[in-house]
Amino acid sequence: MLDKDNLIPINANPIDLFKSWYGLASETEINDPNAMTLSTISKLNRPSTRIVLLKSFDYQGFVFYTNSNSKKGKSISLNKFASLNFHWKTQKKQVRIDGEVEVVNSNIADEYFNTRPLGSKIGAWASLQSEKLSDRSLLYKRVNEVREKYKNTTVPRPLHWNGYLVKPNLIEFWHVRPDRLHDRVEFLKSENGWESHRLFP
C-alpha cells in the first residue's frame, strides 16, 4: 500500500520549509532546537565534527559564531566548505546542509556579541579555544583578569571572535517513515534557484 500522506513537499522553497520544521522543533525539543552538527575539513583533509548553535538564518544561509583561532575556525580558513546537520528527535526529522562558508560583516558580529550574557563575553576573551590547557586554574585566572579589565566598561567583541554564514548549495530533508522507508527530498542550488528531487531511503 502506497503511503502518500504527509510527504515532504518537493516544490517548496527549502529555506521556507526549514523555517517551518524549525518552528515545530522549537515547540517540542526539550533542549536547544538550534543545535546542529558542524563538519569541517582540516589541512590534512580529515573531517572533524562538533555541535554548535544556529543563531540566525535567512535566504542567504545559516549563521553561527565562534573563535576564529579554534580548530573549526582554522579549518574554515583553509577549506571554505562545511556541512551542517540538524536532528530533531521529537519530530523524527533531519536536515542536512552543505555549503560554502564566509565570515559575516563585523557590524553584524558586534550586534550579536552585545546581546550575549556578560560571562559569555568574558569567556570569549579568556579562552584560548582549542589550545592545550594544563590546569583549569589558568583558565579561571584569565577569566578574572578579563573581568577586572572590563569591570567599569562594556566588553568589546574580540577581533578573533566572528560569525560564520554557511551559504547552502545543497539542503536535504529527511522524515522517518514506517519500515525505514524514510522520505527524503534533496534541494540543489542552481543559477535559476533550487532544483529538487526525491531520494531512495
* Inter-residue contact 72 to 48 (CB < 8 Å): yes
Residue among 14, 99, 80, 83 at smallest CA distance from 48 = 83
Residue among 189, 69, 86 at smallest CA distance from 131 = 69
* CA atoms 186, 190, 195, 197: torsion sign: negative
* Inter-residue contact 81 to 101 (CB < 8 Å): yes
Question: Has 180 been annotated as catalytic?
Answer: yes
Helices (H), the chain: 14-28, 71-78, 106-113, 118-126, 136-149
Cell of residue 165, nine digits: 554564514
Q: Which of 177, 180, 184, 198 is catalytic?
A: 180
Positions annotated as catalytic residues are 180
